[in-house]
Amino acid sequence: MNKLKPKLFSVMKTYTKKQLINDIIAGVIVAIIALPLSIALAIASGVGPIAGLYTAIIAGFFISFLGGSRVQIGGPTAAFVVIIYGIVEQYGIEGLTIATIMAGIFLVIMGFCRLGTLIKFIPYTITTGFTAGIAVGIFAGQIKDFLGLDMESVPSEFIEKIEAYSKHISTIDIQTTIIGVISLAILIVWPKITDKIPGSLISIIVATLIVKLANLDVATIGSVYGQLSSSLPSPSIPNVNFEMIKNLISPAFTIAILAGIESLLSCVVSDGMIGSRHRSNMELIAQGVGNIACGLFGGIPATGAIARTAANVKNNGRTPIAGIVHSITLLLILVLLMPLAALIPMTTLAAILIMVAYNMSGWREFFSLTKKAPKSDTAVLLTTFGLTVIFDLVVAIEIGIVLAALLFMKRMADVTTLNSWKYIDDEEEEQNDSESIQLKEVPKNTLVYEINGPMFFAAADKFMDIATNSSDKINVIIFRMRAVPAMDATVMHTLNGVYDICRKKQITLIFSHVMEQPMSVMKKDGFVSKIGLENFAPNIDAALARASQISETSHS
């Protein structure tokens, strides 16, 4: 699964003419779906509509050609809209270009470092929270065009955006709103009629014809952005300086993480649909190369698009050839038909993105988590959602991951227990456990502690009290560690402190049933040689026998 070899090179060994036809058909259909989305997402991101098409063409090609999935379709996605808009507003198009290239470099490094499997450790509550937050941000960003408000550019911050709308709400254009409502109605109803032709395409055709034939005064792509170019993109290298790189590291890393999460999630979903297995690290490298190329050719950040990938699968696309055909089809549309895109009403694109926001919001999962998840997970979910909406995605992911990590560490510390043996009959003790403490004969002046769970820094304080509170009569302490899978450097430091106190009190430490990872940490630290290998017992019986031997020696 983690081979650094593109899927294209593997599947071509058994490629057939029938599959080629299926891939061509699927690629053309996906291109038709991607066309309006690419233009709409670019406009929503604060860049020109042509940049979205460049992204779908360039990223679509490289992600399919080099990717680790058989069916992944790459291009611009709604997940990036909020963060791109903020970068453009603060650093301009050149800043976005640098951030996109840096994100691509990060993704390539992640792939070569075999970090593809680590993306899955991003908590579900965080991905659900920021995805819902992005959906709210996208929806809020479409109100101006959907209602035809007479106002300047929309602010990037959510609160400022709502304030600006409230000041200009009286400038609603009725004609624009009616076309927007018709477009939205088509997007809602059309999938119930057929899924063979995308509703977004029907919506654009119907709305464009109404506006043109009725000669309505409704803003279109052409009236806002001028005539669209049919020329192919040419590469350009941005002017880079250290200050710009320093400022853009954080958003670029967020783009890389987001691209990694969404692309690999799309791979997992498509794997389930076709019964295949993707190569996660190769997919990250392909995503990285695609984003670097997008930055150089005037595009915006790209990743694997779940909806377009699913459409590819449903139309019998089964190899990366379908994604390459999708890219070539969009290139032909750019060259031959791009001037016609100038006729598309802006309110229709806003309606398309409102539907995108609704579909990506995952509101059912969101509210289900708030009701059913533990309070700590709900806190992470709501924090990430709130920060994404009110501030930005960079802050949301950073604080969300830190909060999730802190709560996880607390949870692990809570389940790590350190209990002293109680020498009484216990009806709940497992009778068939050879390591059972029941009926074990513990030597005089010996304490036995049972440790359960990982020994790491959040639980380190539980160990220091053992030595400081031990009676002067105690001469042996046994740590039973059969349920300790792992140990970190902080606990190792604490155990050294316990040893120093016990040495002053002339107490011998004995460790029973130490597992491989903790034993490795102890050896590397020099703790084993300090304690003496003879004080490491394979099981509790051997540990008790060693304690008895020490006790007899001390009393002789």
CA neighbor of 94 nearest in space, from 229, 291, 296: 296
Q: Burial level of 541, CB count in 10 A (0-12/13-18/19+)?
A: middle
Partners of residue 21 on adjacent β-strands: none
**pLDDT score for 555:** 58
pLDDT tens figures, 47-65 = 999 999 999 999 999 999 9
Residue 390's contacts (CB-CB under 8 Å, 6 or more residues apart) are 157, 158, 159
Q: From CA 331, how far away is CA 329, in angstroms rounded?
A: 5
Gyration radius of the chain's alpha carbons: 31
Lowest mean pLDDT among 267-281, 329-343, 431-445, 484-498: 431-445
Taking 80 as the threshold, does the pLDDT of residue 394 lie above it? no
**pLDDT score for 468:** 64
> How does DSSP classify residue 487?
B
Residue 426's pLDDT band (boundaries 50, 70, 90)? very low
Taking 60 as the threshold, does the pLDDT of residue 2 lie above it? no
**pLDDT score for 1:** 46
Instruction: State whether residue 447 is helix, strand or coil.
Output: strand
Query: What percentage of the chain exceeds 90 in pLDDT?
Result: 59
Mean pLDDT of the chain: 88
Taking 50 as the threshold, does the pLDDT of residue 427 lie above it? no
Q: What's the order of all strands across the beta sheet hosting 536-537?
A: 417-420, 446-452, 476-483, 508-512, 536-537
Residue 436's contacts (CB-CB under 8 Å, 6 or more residues apart) are 429, 430
Q: Which helix (H) or strand (E) holds 477?
A: strand 476-483
Helices (H) and strands (E) in the chain, counts: 22, 7
**pLDDT score for 472:** 66
Which CATH number is correct for 418-555, 3.40.50.720, 3.20.20.80, 3.30.750.24, 2.60.120.680?
A: 3.30.750.24
Residue 494's pLDDT band (boundaries 50, 70, 90)? confident
End-to-end CA distance of the chain: 63
Which one of 297-306, 444-453, 468-477 scores highest in mean pLDDT?
Answer: 297-306
Mean pLDDT for 303-316 is: 92
Taking 80 as the threshold, does the pLDDT of residue 440 lie above it? no
pLDDT tens figures, 3-35 = 789 999 999 989 999 999 999 999 999 999 999
Q: Which helix (H) or strand (E) holds 417?
A: strand 417-420
Residue 71's pLDDT band (boundaries 50, 70, 90)? very high
CA neighbor of 515 nearest in space, from 537, 484, 539, 494: 484
Taking 50 as the threshold, does the pLDDT of residue 190 lie above it? yes
Residue 309, number of CB atoms within 10 A of its CB: 26
Evaluate whether 470 touches 437 at the Cβ level (below 8 Å): no
pLDDT tens figures, 322-381 = 999 999 999 999 999 888 899 999 999 999 999 999 988 888 989 988 888 888 889 999
- By DSSP bridging, strand 476-483 and strand 446-452 are parallel
Residue 231's pLDDT band (boundaries 50, 70, 90)? confident
List the domain boundaries for the chain. 17-362, 418-555
Residue matched to tokens 């004995």: 510
Evaluate whether 520 touches 487 at the Cβ level (below 8 Å): no
Q: Residue 423 carries which side chain, given as an amino acid letter?
A: Y
pLDDT tens figures, 150-189 = 998 788 788 999 999 999 999 999 999 999 999 999 999 9
Query: What percentage of the chain exceeds 70 in pLDDT?
Result: 92
Evaluate whether 74 touches 86 at the Cβ level (below 8 Å): no
Q: Burial level of 107, CB count in 10 A (0-12/13-18/19+)?
A: buried
Joined together, the tokens standing for residue 127 give 């991905």
pLDDT tens figures, 146-155 = 999 999 878 8
Instruction: State whether residue 483 is helix, strand or coil.
Output: strand
Which one of 222-226, 289-293, 528-532 scores highest in mean pLDDT?
Answer: 289-293
Residue 537's contacts (CB-CB under 8 Å, 6 or more residues apart) are 510, 511, 512, 513, 543, 545, 546
Residue 556's pLDDT band (boundaries 50, 70, 90)? low
- pTM greater than the 0.85 cutoff: no
> How does DSSP classify residue 234?
-
Q: From CA 169, how far away is CA 144, in angstroms rounded?
A: 9
